[in-house]
């Protein structure tokens, strides 16, 4: 009986630890309409700054049909990095730009058609 109670307690603690990690990965999502060259730029921090750990930011661009037209992983060192994505020759349409990564914070984000 004691062993069973400890097992249930351990499972509850594990679930409470996993749920916040799963929901904290998406940092930003926005839609933009236009055509031509799509530019996405900005700065990001992830993880613990200045700890010599790499920071990651995944950038995805999806068209109105749900097809991914661009995906790139940006890596920065010391917990910070920069984004500069260029997606040329996009036809007229509505695009969703998503940025994701563990403990990701994005600043100075610019999304525009050139």
Give pLDDT tens digits for 12-47.
Answer: 555 555 444 443 455 789 999 999 999 999 999 876
Residue 16 in any domain: the answer is no
Whether pLDDT at 11 is above 70: no
CATH no. for residue 99? 2.60.120.260
Confidence grade of residue 90 (pLDDT, cut at 50, 70, 90): very high
Q: Are strands 80-100 and 55-62 parallel, antiparallel or unpaired?
A: antiparallel
Residue 1 in any domain: the answer is no
Residue 8 in any domain: the answer is no
pTM for the whole structure = 0.72
Q: DSSP 3-state assignment of 51?
A: coil
Q: How many domains does the chain contain in total?
A: 1
Residue 95 in any domain: the answer is yes
Rounded Cα gap, residues 65 and 39, in angstroms: 20
User: Where in the sequence is the domain holding 103, given as residue range(s)?
Assistant: 26-113
Residue 13 in any domain: the answer is no
Residue 91 in any domain: the answer is yes
Q: How many CB atoms lie within 10 A of CB 76?
A: 19
């Amino acid at each position: 009986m004691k062993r069973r109670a400890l097992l249930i307690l351990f499972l509850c603690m594990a679930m409470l630890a996993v749920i916040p990690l799963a929901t904290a990965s998406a940092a930003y999502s926005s839609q933009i309409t236009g055509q031509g060259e799509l530019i996405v730029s900005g700065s990001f921090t992830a993880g613990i700054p200045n700890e010599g750990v790499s920071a990651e930011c995944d950038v995805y661009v999806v068209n109105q049909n749900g097809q991914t037209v661009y995906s790139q992983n940006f890596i920065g060192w010391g917990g910070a990095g920069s984004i500069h994505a260029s997606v040329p020759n996009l036809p007229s349409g509505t695009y969703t730009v998503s940025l994701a990564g563990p403990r990701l914070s994005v600043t100075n984000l610019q999304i525009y058609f050139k």
